[in-house]
Structure 1
Amino acid sequence: MPPSRPSPKGGRSRAVKAALDAWFAARGWKPFKFQREVWKAIADGRSGLLHATTGAGKTYAVWLGALQAFARARKANANARPVAEPLTVLWLTPMRALAADTLRALQQALEALGAEVHPWSAGARSGDTTSAERNAQNQRLPTVLVTTPESLSLMLARADAREVLGHVRMAVVDEWHELLGNKRGVQVQLALARLKRWNPGLAIWGMSATLGNLREAMHALLGHEDGVLVQGQVPKKLVVDSLLPGVAERFPWGGHLGLTMLPQVIEEIAASSTTLVFTNTRSQAEIWYQAMLEARPEWAGLIALHHGSLDREVREWVELGLKSGELKAVVCTSSLDLGVDFLPVERVLQIGSPKGVARLLQRAGRSGHAPGRPSRITLVPTHSVEMVEGSAARTAIAAGHIEARHSPEQPLDVLVQHLVTVALGGGFVPDELYEEVRGTAAYEGLSRENWQWCLEFVAQGGPSLAAYPDYKRVVPDAEGVWRVPDARLARRHRMNIGTIVSDASISVQYLGGSKIGNVEESFVARMKAGDCFLFGGRMLELVRIHDMTAWVRRASGKRAAVPRWGGGRMPLSNTLADAVVQQLAQAGEGRYDSPELQCVRPLLEIQQQWSALPTPQTLLAETLSTREGSHLFLYPFAGRHVHLGLASLLAWRIAQHEARTFSIAVNDYGFELLSATEVDWPALLPQVLALPQGEDAHALLLHEVLASLNASELAQRRFREIARVSGLIYQGYPGEKRSSKQLQASSSLFWEVFRKYDPGNRLLQQAEQELLSQELEIGRLRASLERIAMQQLVLKPLARPTPFSFPLMVELFREKLSNENVADRIARMVEQLEKAAGGAVTAGGVERVKGTLAFGQEGPGKPPKPVSQRRDRRRPSRPSRPLPPL
């Protein structure tokens, strides 16, 4: 076993350092202060967290520190070809798409060392690794291995895991912010605790560019170990501007403005060398790519599409095209958010709100991805109020306000999976493993009772499953070491390791041709042979579905659906929401200081004339009576998840006084309650907004929230994911893919069995806790109620819908009416409201509304027309107005 810590004096080879210094100098680089701090900390055997802007040189800070600390100089008289060092550095990346790019960056520094050091080898291991390369790695792992959390867990499940991984002296977690707030981050914490048990001197380093709670993030990474927090303050010019429409509509509705901005977007792309066009959903990416190609057909081959559902070969082709500068623009999603180094990228466009400051910063960093190069991101609003978000985001960045991310607390499904993994990787003694697990931030408060329950669960599946041998996954041997006794169960566990749970996917493949990618089964299941859909930038016709594969051929001239993937609606973050309210308060004082506020000023002035503008000190509520009934509009600015919980809670509390039925609509700014009968809102509202008081206030609020929703159905949906992670249900073996219906039926069966025969099952409790904390964001909901209690209620009776209430009314229309009826209704309302505001609806307003619904980015309804059949060729009425650099 190598020494546990590098020696501060003798551990670094002068030859290695000299070679790396020469490599830096040859490129005209000088190490930044933060890079030298990291090099010294690693040489001193310290662990830590490095936080620096995107493109500042974080990778080289940690990687060159590792080389200087661990690489040994080659002996001058060595004649025989030396064997490469064993696995020494483990480099974790959140996305397998980043593994190859990260590996190339690490290899460049290795090549610079040449003959100066004892040879190091480098490799990557992820779901994209070929079987040949995987087999070679099974014989001998490289000195530095770039891998993912899932692949690391698979390695921990090897019988020789300690022998293979016991030489690791340093573990690096790239883009820690991307893992910290979810179960994959917990999976990483458990894996690092296992590595640290085998090598107590293990150095652990995390890297991130967008974290607001650095100390907490470092604690989650290092557990109880003290670490070094290094912040890289590198001067970097950041430009955050907005692409503004010629005229901001005063009565907007969600998503309606998107493709009307296409001409301006095309002009911006044409004026730049290489541009990334980020969208928030894969469906939106497909639509924008098609629209851009229709607008500029001569760009075929120069623009591309990139998202996670496309085949790996397609994604790699796009990434190489970006690196070489051959592509003019790429329409993408979060699949290109992280780490990949595209130096030629000059501009980043963000379609719609980024929903958070951290996400905006991350995407901005994709341009000018090198020290000293400016980064620029331009926001393209799809809703008039999103222009306020652009101004708010720039203000939040200037103030250094970035969202915090928190590690999940004690997810038992992840722990159960880890127990089986460790049992496969050599076995465990319960008391020893308990202390190891409690060394992580996620489980530092794990009680003996919960630990014992987890042991019993992997031993027999709990009391309700004790009779079934498939759930006797881990049992103690004669020496008290817990192991997996059945090779079949071991194989099944290895095939289903991981915490990423999504709808079952179906491969999309040409008849007799190549694979294009994957779509969710729930989308394809609604289609029949002959139906068409847009995917991978192509119009495809479904021929048949067989063996979990959708066989397709090229099509044209037909109406096409656009696949919908889960996770499409991200809520507005607290940080950005608070900044938006501050901007609205400034507008209320007559201060329209930014170009965005100037552009949206007509809307805000109408809102102020007919009602009021929200401020941090006030809660705006509006009431309106129409033929549909009695409307309440409330604007807490807390994000759509919290607004759903608040709206349901208020409706439930009102119904306790008098039986009523409410329709609910929510967006990121507020929510609407609609009752068919008259409601005395001034009298009821102060009562139903009150926060429970007393010692049991928190428990009472939880009870009310759960009672106000179909909590059982929502919790059951969460339980499906928990059942999958904990190993109760599994995806199947290779060639034996199980459909989502099979998985759903299996999880529903376990749900009912546990509720009936094992009501104290911890996984049932976890499903309810995750529902409250993640889907309903109960902490944020409670904080919103506490803030509401401190605010002055401003109740405004309306004569007609305001610019803020109008989009909420449209949300309800979409639920109740067909596309054609919605288009007619919206167009009539816009015309009436514009006349009341002293304006007139533009010519072709009805046709414009119908066209937007047919080819919109949100909202249900009939599938859109293919782009080739659209005739809209509008150009901007005036040029876009970029903002000055930050």
Structure 2
Amino acid sequence: MSEGAIPDEIEAWFGHRGWRIRSHQTAMFDADRRGKHALLVADTGAGKTLAGFLPTLADFCPSAFGDSGPPEGLHTLYVSPLKALAHDVQRNLLTPVEEMGLPLRIETRSGDTPSDRKRRQRAKPPHVLLTTPESLSLLLSYPDSFELFAGLKRIVIDEVHAFATGKRGDLLALSIARLQAVAPGLQRSALSATLARPEAYREWLAPWGEIDAVELVEGEKGADPQIEILLPDEQRVPWGGHAATWAIPQLMRLIEANRTTIIFTNTRFLAEYTFQNLWDVNEANLPVGIHHGSLSKEARRKVEGAMARGELRALVATASLDLGVDWGDVDCVVQMGAPKGSSRLLQRVGRANHRLDQPSRAVLVPGNRFEFLEATAAKDAVEEGQRDGDDFRAGGLDVLAQHVMGCACAAPFDEAALLAEVRSSLSYAWLDEAVWQRVLNFVATGGYALKAYDRFRRIVRDRSGTWRLAHPEMAAKHRLNAGIIIDSEMLTVRFRNGRQLGRVEERFAAQLAPGDTFAFAGVTVEVEQLKDMDVIVRASAKAAMIPSYGGSRMPLTTHLAERVQGMLDDRAGWGRFPDDVREWLEVQDWRSQMPRPGSLLVESFPHAKRHYTVYYTFEGWNANQSLGMLITRRMSDRGLLPGGFVANDYSLGVWGLRPVKDPAPLLSPDILAHEFVDWVQDSHLLRRAFREVAVIGGLVERQQPGKRKTGKQVTFSTDLIYDVLRKHEPDHVLLEAAWADARARITDVGRLVDLLGRSAEQLVHVELDRVSPLAVPVMVMIGRESVPQGAVDDELLLEAESLAEAAMRVDPPVES
């Protein structure tokens, strides 16, 4: 074998399989041999995983190591966002390793790994360890981590787009910086099929300021995916709803016609709902499974094993399986509801046929007419090779605090040396000395307001300026509680006498303040108090101001939102739409106006003795929900008597007893300087964000030896601390981190800023005599929570038909 060439064993294995080594696989190997970091962007099914591991496999070929024997110790780390992906990669890597007879041991490590195996892995590590960011961070917190990682040669980060821009990416970036310090020769590789801006990810992957050290490798282009949009048998796309229940019989026929079908949904609730509906029509009793993050480890593993063995005909899944899992028998992927982004759609489509030379087949099932437009926009984007994704932002201070504590658990540290190490990552290159000292002070004492309490004293500085643990037991506490993923809680809605009405998602409850009203369990209730994990209410005769059915939503990407707006403005392109969708848009264009890119269309009209205003923002549900809370508060201040609001990804509908003659004052940018701050502080949004950062930052423990605190106990603890800090230390580092989360993640304030900027420049207000066709989808949502369970679909259908008849009627209007 010549120097730097792919070993003969690997060449022969590819030939035996009837494959060729693809150019991007060779390029990844060459980059490694030249000592370069590498970012591979390649289509699904292009052999990315094998490309990432090719240099590792080569190092364990007998022709490469010769008489010196194979490398000893931990050689390669593989980091993925999902436990299921790590197990899938292990299965697929074992095939070439076994068939080539390589002396290579591969193991996985995650929260599901038994503790005895974890101990053994530290004492006698495998050559390749497949893990997650959280498990890697914990490994680095042990004193023996320096010895464990000293000989590490490579780290491979799979599906890097899925977590690099969030807090898990912050944690991983800090871990990589530490690994590079422990093993200076470490080479970094990252893999993805769906990067919109590869240069930004090159910068994230590189040591800070060394972007040229990362080679961008682009994969060979594969077969174009085959994507179709499923329409109802009667060819009429529904006006409203997201569940697409109409498609269940057609889905069952798809399952019957294919070997294996994966049906992706955007929420766990929709996964369970779709799964149950499929079983109701599964007369042939075909094996159909379900997979999502709320299921037990045993249930997930059972389903994953059944899929790997080809025993299931269909699997209903959430995002828990849309990243890189390779099951070769999957020949059709279904997306229930709109995909919310072209990159997410491409990732999910790639689960079918998982081969570069064969097209992946996908079927999109829109739940309503806007979702049809969104599905069409996503399909167009995929076919044009356009991707979308989140932007990078400054690393979280709570994550940094957790990392500092982990470093102290491993060994005493010099603060200047650790600061230099932390700054070597893109996520924290911005960190200045003042912020660094605030973080150190927080980890050491809990901050000025808490330093009198010994339980917050975690690290101390000795006379030489070295930081070390305040007590050895702090290390065990840290490892029990470290992590980035904080489960969302459900809050109980109850009357003061204890009678329970049911439960709502914490995300919804966090927006409530005393006096707010919402419809729930068939009645209108007014919020009296949020206490621990309870929403205490009383019956109210007032109109329900806020809907309680928002649920957890995937955000609509800005790229896809702009595409949908462009489609609405492209009248010549409407000819490819179904007749009912085209007619819907044509009547809208005739009666009102179309939302145009770069502008904000606002419609006002009377309906059922109330006055409605619909804002066509296209900024996603999060931003629209936040805007609804702010606008209704401003309407109250101006005597417009708001009744409530509903939001979807595309628009916000607000109603009241008095008409909005000029929406501009309601949308002035100063709403973010005044009403936004008041709303966030008056509601539990900031408390909720604080609880998360307090847990991540290590201020509050979730886990104690032998038991785990309930959500109620954690919330009680964090609420007490929050009140103390708000009063005595309002500039506390965790309050700053909570505000950053509330602004960016919970309320999507960045998109609100863009929206209000557009409204100030290009606001188009149209006053109508009745509901417009484009307003029907959001209007259908009004009042659905007051409908008894089991009758929702029927009631919504009747309401949609009534609204649609009024909106689409072209004869002179009748008085409403």
TM-score by length of 1: 0.80
Distance in 2, matches of 1:249 and 1:323, equals 38
1:101 to 70, 79, 88: 88
Matched residue type, 1:299: N
Distance in 1, matches of 2:549 and 2:706, equals 24
Please state how far the C-alpha of 1:407 moved relative to its aligned partner: 3.1
| C-alpha distance after superposition, 1:90-119 (max 9, x if no partner) | 11111112222111222333234426xxx3
CA separation of 1:254/1:828 partners in 2, compared to 1, >3 Å: closer, same or farther?
closer
CA separation of 1:524/1:759 partners in 2, compared to 1, >3 Å: closer, same or farther?
closer
CA separation of 1:501/1:839 partners in 2, compared to 1, >3 Å: closer, same or farther?
same
CA separation of 1:830/1:151 partners in 2, compared to 1, >3 Å: closer, same or farther?
closer
Distance in 1, matches of 2:494 and 2:632, equals 36
Matched residue type, 1:686: A
Matched residue type, 2:677: L
Match of residue 664 from structure 2: 686
CA separation of 1:293/1:825 partners in 2, compared to 1, >3 Å: closer, same or farther?
closer
2:245 to 252, 259, 266: 259
Please state how far the C-alpha of 1:437 moved relative to its aligned partner: 0.5
The yes-or-no answer on 1:211 pairing with 2:224 is: no
Distance in 2, matches of 1:150 and 1:525, equals 40
- Are the counterparts in 1 of residues 236 and 580 from structure 2 also a CA contact under 8 Å? no
Match of residue 438 from structure 2: 453
Please state how far the C-alpha of 1:354 moved relative to its aligned partner: 1.1
- Are the counterparts in 2 of residues 250 and 603 from structure 1 also a CA contact under 8 Å? no
| C-alpha distance after superposition, 1:460-487 (max 9, x if no partner) | 1111221222211111345443222323
1:233 to 214, 220, 225: 220
Match of residue 744 from structure 2: 773
The yes-or-no answer on 1:39 pairing with 2:29 is: yes
Match of residue 86 from structure 1: 73
- Are the counterparts in 2 of residues 160 and 426 from structure 1 also a CA contact under 8 Å? no
- Are the counterparts in 2 of residues 592 and 598 from structure 1 also a CA contact under 8 Å? no
- Are the counterparts in 1 of residues 339 and 375 from structure 2 also a CA contact under 8 Å? no
Q: Indicate the percent of aligned positions where both proteins have the same amino acid.
A: 34
The yes-or-no answer on 1:782 pairing with 2:753 is: yes
Q: Aligned ranges for residues 427-466 of structure 1 at < 5 Å?
A: 427-466=412-451
1:268 to 230, 250, 254: 254
1:402 to 382, 387, 397: 387
Distance in 1, matches of 2:495 and 2:293, equals 20
Distance in 1, matches of 2:808 and 2:185, equals 73
Match of residue 53 from structure 2: 63
The yes-or-no answer on 1:28 pairing with 2:12 is: no
CA separation of 1:450/1:267 partners in 2, compared to 1, >3 Å: closer, same or farther?
same
Distance in 2, matches of 1:824 and 1:138, equals 58
| C-alpha distance after superposition, 1:228-277 (max 9, x if no partner) | 1111132222111111013455772222x611211111111111111001
CA separation of 1:437/1:820 partners in 2, compared to 1, >3 Å: closer, same or farther?
closer
CA separation of 1:258/1:826 partners in 2, compared to 1, >3 Å: closer, same or farther?
closer
| C-alpha distance after superposition, 1:796-838 (max 9, x if no partner) | 3333323332232333313556559977875654454455577
CA separation of 1:528/1:423 partners in 2, compared to 1, >3 Å: closer, same or farther?
same
| C-alpha distance after superposition, 1:341-385 (max 9, x if no partner) | 100000001111111111111100000112212111111111132
CA separation of 1:651/1:709 partners in 2, compared to 1, >3 Å: closer, same or farther?
farther
| C-alpha distance after superposition, 1:665-710 (max 9, x if no partner) | 111111112122243x2xx223444446xxxxxxx84444323555
SS in structure 2 at match of 1:811 = coil
Distance in 2, matches of 1:416 and 1:263, equals 52
- Are the counterparts in 1 of residues 773 and 808 from structure 2 also a CA contact under 8 Å? no
Match of residue 536 from structure 2: none
Distance in 1, matches of 2:806 and 2:654, equals 24
1:624 to 605, 611, 617: 605
Distance in 2, matches of 1:135 and 1:687, equals 62
- Are the counterparts in 2 of residues 251 and 806 from structure 1 also a CA contact under 8 Å? no
- Are the counterparts in 1 of residues 60 and 104 from structure 2 also a CA contact under 8 Å? no
CA separation of 1:821/1:593 partners in 2, compared to 1, >3 Å: closer, same or farther?
closer
Match of residue 290 from structure 1: 276
CA separation of 1:798/1:89 partners in 2, compared to 1, >3 Å: closer, same or farther?
same
Distance in 2, matches of 1:791 and 1:45, equals 52
Distance in 1, matches of 2:60 and 2:368, equals 53
2:288 to 303, 306, 323: 303
Match of residue 532 from structure 2: none
Matched residue type, 1:200: P
Match of residue 511 from structure 2: none
- Are the counterparts in 1 of residues 88 and 325 from structure 2 also a CA contact under 8 Å? yes
Distance in 1, matches of 2:14 and 2:791, equals 65
Gaps of 5+ in 2: 504-547, 811-816
Please state how far the C-alpha of 1:21 moved relative to its aligned partner: 0.5
- Are the counterparts in 1 of residues 595 and 616 from structure 2 also a CA contact under 8 Å? yes
- Are the counterparts in 2 of residues 89 and 144 from structure 1 also a CA contact under 8 Å? yes
CA separation of 1:621/1:155 partners in 2, compared to 1, >3 Å: closer, same or farther?
same
Distance in 1, matches of 2:324 and 2:299, equals 19
The yes-or-no answer on 1:425 pairing with 2:410 is: yes
| C-alpha distance after superposition, 1:186-223 (max 9, x if no partner) | 00000000011112221011111112121112212223
Q: Aligned ranges for residues 532-681 of structure 1 at < 5 Å?
A: 568-586=552-570, 589-594=571-576, 596-598=577-579, 600-616=581-597, 618-655=599-636, 657-658=638-639, 660-679=641-660, 681=661
2:98 to 100, 111, 120: 111
Match of residue 53 from structure 1: 43
Match of residue 514 from structure 2: none
Match of residue 201 from structure 1: 185
| C-alpha distance after superposition, 1:732-754 (max 9, x if no partner) | 23531111110110110110011
Match of residue 527 from structure 2: none
Matched residue type, 2:743: L
CA separation of 1:669/1:569 partners in 2, compared to 1, >3 Å: closer, same or farther?
same
- Are the counterparts in 1 of residues 167 and 395 from structure 2 also a CA contact under 8 Å? no
Please state how far the C-alpha of 1:619 moved relative to its aligned partner: 3.1
Match of residue 206 from structure 2: 222
2:104 to 120, 139, 144: 120
Query: Is the deviation greater in 20-29 or in 757-766?
Result: 757-766
Match of residue 320 from structure 1: 305
CA separation of 1:648/1:309 partners in 2, compared to 1, >3 Å: closer, same or farther?
closer
CA separation of 1:792/1:406 partners in 2, compared to 1, >3 Å: closer, same or farther?
closer
TM-score by length of 2: 0.87
Please state how far the C-alpha of 1:712 moved relative to its aligned partner: 4.8
CA separation of 1:36/1:687 partners in 2, compared to 1, >3 Å: closer, same or farther?
same
SS in structure 1 at match of 2:216 = strand
- Are the counterparts in 2 of residues 175 and 209 from structure 1 also a CA contact under 8 Å? yes
RMSD, matched Cα: 3.1
- Are the counterparts in 2 of residues 251 and 803 from structure 1 also a CA contact under 8 Å? no
The yes-or-no answer on 1:17 pairing with 2:7 is: yes
CA separation of 1:86/1:525 partners in 2, compared to 1, >3 Å: closer, same or farther?
farther
SS in structure 2 at match of 1:805 = helix
How many residues align? The count is 761
Please state how far the C-alpha of 1:494 moved relative to its aligned partner: 0.5
Distance in 2, matches of 1:748 and 1:577, equals 37
SS in structure 2 at match of 1:102 = helix
1:392 to 348, 356, 377: 377
Distance in 2, matches of 1:92 and 1:822, equals 44
CA separation of 1:247/1:525 partners in 2, compared to 1, >3 Å: closer, same or farther?
farther
| C-alpha distance after superposition, 1:304-359 (max 9, x if no partner) | 11112222232222222222322111111111111211000000011111111111
Query: Is the deviation greater in 239-248 or in 139-148?
Result: 239-248
Query: Is the deviation greater in 433-442 or in 284-293?
Result: 284-293
